[in-house]
Amino acid sequence: MDTHVMDAIREAVLPDLPGFRAEWLPQIDSTNSELMRRARAGRLEPVLLVAGQQTAGRGRLGRQWFSDTGADAKLGSEGSLTFSLGLPLAPLDWSGLSLAVGVSVVRSLHPDLRLKWPNDVWLRDRKLAGILIETANLADTPEARYAVVGVGINMKPRAATGLSTPPAWLGEVLPGVEAPEALLRIAAPLVRALKLFEANGFSTFQAGFNERDALGGLAVTLSDGTTGVAQGVDGMGALLVHTAHGLKKVTSSEVSLRPLNPPPYENL
């Protein structure tokens, strides 16, 4: 990653986050794992950690996140953008944080991007990016936690092999865009969104999520067997599903959501 871009990100973020650093590593198992290890070792500074390549990227529930390096990752030609933002946060309620992050990321990138509850960015019927948030305890301030906000974005075409949803990539909507530019667009607004979330909780992001909801108004099926019509989220970020037995609120992060009749995938 271009050092100018890392400097520009640091300058853009510093006013909102004193002590902030932006760090690029050519290779790491997972930027989330690295920041969680640092947090457990007492390193709780605000930092953006960007990986040229992840060797063991993680999704939710122990799933894998696959990413590609570019021919020369230092020149910013990565096939994937993988990064984690770590910072202490003390919101009154953590509900909906991954949705708030999603709203910020899609707003920074492109109006055509949509959000699939609770942590995916979609382009039409394919997955373009994923969000993984983990937190660590802070010993002497029980109201705050160290939050690690991980984001993985496909920048370039990639095969669907082994993926539960065929992939989309950012170049489809922003032709020629490279990882450094995307990161520069995302980083400072994401920090501001996290600060807003910390102050006001999810409710400030509810309308933003519902405007970008990939599945609002569509028939969906949940991994717990529930079927119904998705109706967006409430002010706490709970998914609302209109079922035969009434309106169901889904909060469990263990639940996966799928369109009941996914449209045929585009042949790109």
- Shortest distance, position 151 Cβ to ligand BTN, whole Å: 6
Among the options 10, 21, 60, 158, which is catalytic?
60
| Closer CB to ligand ATP, 160 or 247, in the complex | 160
- Determine the Cα–Cα distance for residues 26 and 51; give it in Å rounded to an integer: 6
Instruction: Give the number of other CB atoms < 10 A from CB of residue 159.
Output: 9
Among 10, 21, 60, 110, the residue binding ligand ATP under the rule CB under 6 A is 60
Residue 257 touches which member of ligand BTN, ligand ATP, none, C-beta under 5-8 Å by kind: ligand ATP
As measured in angstroms, the least distance from the Cβ of 41 to ligand BTN is 18
Q: Does 212 bind ligand ATP (CB under 6 A)?
A: no
What is the DSSP code (8-state) at residue 83?
Answer: E
Stretch that binds ligand ATP, among 55-63, 86-94, 107-115, 192-200 (CB under 6 A): 55-63
Q: Which residue is nearest to ligand ATP (CB)?
A: 59
Q: How far apart are CA 52 and CA 82, in angstroms?
A: 8
Whether 127 is catalytic is yes
> Both tokens of residue 257?
């959501």
Exposure pattern of 232-259 as b/e (b: 16+ CB <10 Å)? bbbeebbbbbeeeeeebebeeeeebbee
Closest CA to 18 of 200, 135, 191: 191
Report d(CA 252, CA 264) in Å as an integer: 28
Per CB under 6 A, 171 contacts ligand ATP: no
DSSP state of 192: H
List interacting residues with ligand BTN (CB under 6 A).
30-32, 54, 57-60, 63, 65, 82-84, 119-120, 130-132, 150-152
What x/- string results for residues 127 through 156 when contact with ligand ATP is judged by CB under 6 A?
x--x-----------------------x--
* Cα 143–chain centre separation: 24
List the catalytic residues: 60, 127, 258
